[in-house]
Amino acid sequence: MANVVVVGAQWGDEGKGKIVDWLSERADVIARFQGGHNAGHTLVIDGVTYKLSLLPSGILRPGKLGVIGNGVVLDPWALISEIEKIEAQGVSVTTENLVIAENVPLILPVHQDLDRLREDAAGRAKIGTTGRGIGPAYEDKVGRRAVRLADLADPATLEARLDRLLAHHDPLRRGLGQPGIDRDALKAKLEEIAPKVLPFAAPVWKLLAERRRAGDRILFEGAQGALLDIDFGTYPYVTSSNTLGGMAATGTGLGPGSIDFVLGIVKAYTTRVGEGPFPTELDDAVGQHLAEVGREKGTVTGRDRRCGWFDAVLVRQTCTTSGVNGIALTKLDVLDGLEELKICVGYELDGSRVDYLPIASEQQARVTPVYETMAGWSASTAGARSWAELPAEAIKYVRRIEELIHCPVAMLSTSPERDDTILVTDPFAD
């Protein structure tokens, strides 16, 4: 059976939550493979809005198994809080429909402290983190001093992990003018949360392999977007994990041969939250239109998103680095009513034409977009569920995007509602 990876192909906020939820009806297992609670998904189902950060989107569907893989960094307190909120909306979360990789690294209060302290100290050089401890937690993971979920069940191992953790963090805190970590208080917090999260722990790599052999369909759910990837994003204004399609394999322990289709989620325009380059950003009435009609505020942070024209150069680049087989184009309806539309088809840099975003930060800041102009449409695309319901100009816009990014549109989303989706190619088709 086909297994599908869903990744963002821009700077995040592309509408992955709705698409994953829509696809999860066809899947048996939905697995998160990177990121933390610094990014969120907003889903609207039967008029009810759900906001998820850590829980896989498929948790909203009965009979599906949600998985949090080892590539995620997990704040156990945020997880329990999210479970309680979603249960208050009538969604049950138990060990029957949620499992967490036993080797997942934990985000601790010290990580959040360090995140905010360093960002404050950076001043104008800040990178715009969410302050939720994601980066410091990943640093401790690769520094081999992380507390992992399974450690909460082993007192001796937990003691050793805390020794190594404090040996690193205490000097850092003193250098920032802060007192050292209260070890006893931290240990007590971990011992208190342990019985609430340990029941979900499992060898996810083994479980997924068994489910795959049994013929179950697995949907791998990414967070953020490819332009925030630690290696291929607009560094240093990126997240602290790999957000590309290939991370689905290492972030769950299931090999790359298990991936059959990579679906890239792409907005019909471009947005980003926080600092960093943005070649097609608009500071005019059109940018304001996109922000207002698209309701462009971060699900987790509530920060206003910067808005701009569709950048085909960037999406073509991310489709390549993530191995995207097809895209899901979202928020087409936000463009309704605009007389003309522009698509970035290249960049100018120091008098030369370039067809990709340079890796050097100072060059990224200096590129200027080369635009192609297309006619807009006055009719509404909102809620369309077939090509026949779309204006001719909207179809031309979609087809031109396909040509420019060298990748076909597999799905088209025309509203936040689950069923307002046009399916062109079923990613789960065998």
Q: What angle do CA 178, 184, 185 make, to 5 degrees?
A: 70
Q: Is 37 a catalytic residue?
A: no
Sign of CA dihedral 7, 9, 11, 17: negative
The backbone torsions φ and ψ at residue 271, rounded to the nearest 5 degrees and listed phi first, read -140, 160
- Tokens read off for 107: 């985000």
Nearest alpha carbon to residue 11 among 291, 375, 305 = 305
In contact, 223 and 243? CB cutoff 8 Å: yes
Q: For tokens 């040996």, what's the residue?
A: 167
* Catalytic hit among 37, 41, 111, 169: 41
Let me know: does 406 contact 414? Beta carbons within 8 Å: no
41 part of the active site: yes
170-173, Cβ contacts within 8 angstroms, sequence gap of 24 or more: 172/114, 173/113, 173/114, 173/117
Distance in angstroms (rounded) separating the CA atoms of residues 128 and 114: 14
- String of DSSP letters for 251-294: TTT--GGG--EEEEEEESSEEE-SSS--TTB--SHHHHHHHHHT
C-beta neighbour count of 160 within 10 angstroms: 14
Which among 149, 139, 70 has a CA at the least distance from the CA of 111? 139
Take residue 294 and report the two structure tokens written for it: 């698209």
324 touches 318 (CB < 8 A): yes
Say which DSSP state 200 is in.
G
Residue 125's φ and ψ, nearest 5 degrees, are -90, 10
Residue 111's H or E segment, with its range, is helix 109-122
The greatest distance separating any two alpha carbons of the chain, rounded to the nearest whole angstrom, comes to 67
- Report which of 362, 428, 344, 419 is spatially closest to residue 386, judged by C-alpha positions: 419
How far apart (Å, rounded) are the C-alpha atoms in residues 314 and 272?
A: 13
**99 strand-pairing partners:** 67
Q: Out of 13, 28, 115, 229, pick the active-site residue.
A: 13
Q: What is the DSSP string of 366-419?
A: H-EEEEEEEE---S--TT--SGGGS-HHHHHHHHHHHHHHT--EEEEE-SSBTT
Q: Which residues are catalytic?
A: 13, 41
